[in-house]
Amino acid sequence: MPQTGLIENAHNDLVTDAAYDFYGLRLATCSLDQRIKVWQLDERQGTWAAEDDWKAHDAAITKVSWAHPEFGTILASSSFDRTVKIWEQNSYSDPEPQILAGASGSSTASRWVERAVLVDAKGTVRAVEFAPHQFGLKLATISSDNHLRVYECFELPSVTTWQLSEETDIQSLPSKNPAGGSIPQTVTLATPTQTSSTLDGASVSLAAHALAQQQQQSQSTSRPGLGNREADGGWCLSWCKDRYWGEILAVGCGVNGVVKVIQFSPSRRPTTLLVLDPTPARPSGSDAQKAPSHPEGESPVPYSVISVAWAPSCGRSYHLIATGSRDGHVRIWRVKPPSSVEDAD
């Protein structure tokens, strides 16, 4: 894949996340330096210029997410300070921008204003993502306390008030599909490259140290890092982009290497529709999950899934879910829904 652009020295520390806006013309980045930067694309020259830069949290920032533009210019950020913050860009007609401390100690003007702070998490908030706009202005968060939380803003156009609509302990949800239900077919697809990386020298910061602990510990061959609360917590999430299937999330939690596909419904409690498990499955019928065998003939050691992305359907008859794990592997899952909605229920 050709490189179309490069942003050098974007932050003073490790960049933890980058997210495009709806149009792909702006890029938000966050870092261990506790700052968020918004970059604007010059379409003629193909270069990126810093548009805004501000200190957003009191600890390392883990993720940023853009809301759909129909709700305004809104960002959400999550952090190791156990908070999620909602940011809104001031219009140019506003008399005074917000004044924040710059990286070098001098004051810089930012057009982004903090509208809300969500403080329900009891641990590091590792991921935040706005829901597809068809479901309203909602966002989901996952934290190291194992809880998946969904918030909704009802008082639009103001984004200062958010209600906690769902709170679920991911580890307590059943990992298996309901008995008698139709199980969607899943296949892991090979990726062009599968590389591994280490975190040598990065443990000086809080965020990198927490991530390194999971790999350093090997108390159990089946669950490395067992007993470490930070590693056992939630890691990542991604919304299903297709409104036809309702409010569905793919969530990575714990150190067992699996991703749970969870459905939310106003009339019932959250349920697990599917579990994506990279370990080889023993076929037990036509609906058995397919997974590649381990090259050495042994069961691979599971590692935490720390990144997940649900691709837009784009008219396909199946879904694609990409996962990134602490073992350095990227896996792309092809999930074929049941033949009918009744089977899925």
pLDDT tens digits, residue range 48-102? 999 999 999 999 999 999 999 999 999 999 999 999 999 999 865 444 444 444 4
Give Cα 111 distance to the centre of its chain: 26
Average predicted confidence (pLDDT) for the chain: 78
107 versus 308: the higher-pLDDT residue is 308
CATH for 9-91+98-172? Answer: 2.130.10.10
Q: What percentage of the chain has pLDDT greater than the value 90?
A: 47
For the entire predicted model, the pTM comes to 0.75
Rounded distance between C-alpha atoms, residue 335 and residue 310, angstroms = 11
Every domain range in the chain assigned CATH 2.130.10.10: 9-91+98-172
Q: What is the mean pLDDT of residues 193-211?
A: 39
Q: Is 150 exposed, middle or buried (0-12, 13-18, 19+ CB in 10 A)?
A: buried
Bigger pLDDT: 256 or 227?
Answer: 256
Task: Please say if the pLDDT value at position 154 is more than 80.
Answer: yes
Task: Please check the confidence at residue 242 and state whether its pLDDT lies above 80.
Answer: yes
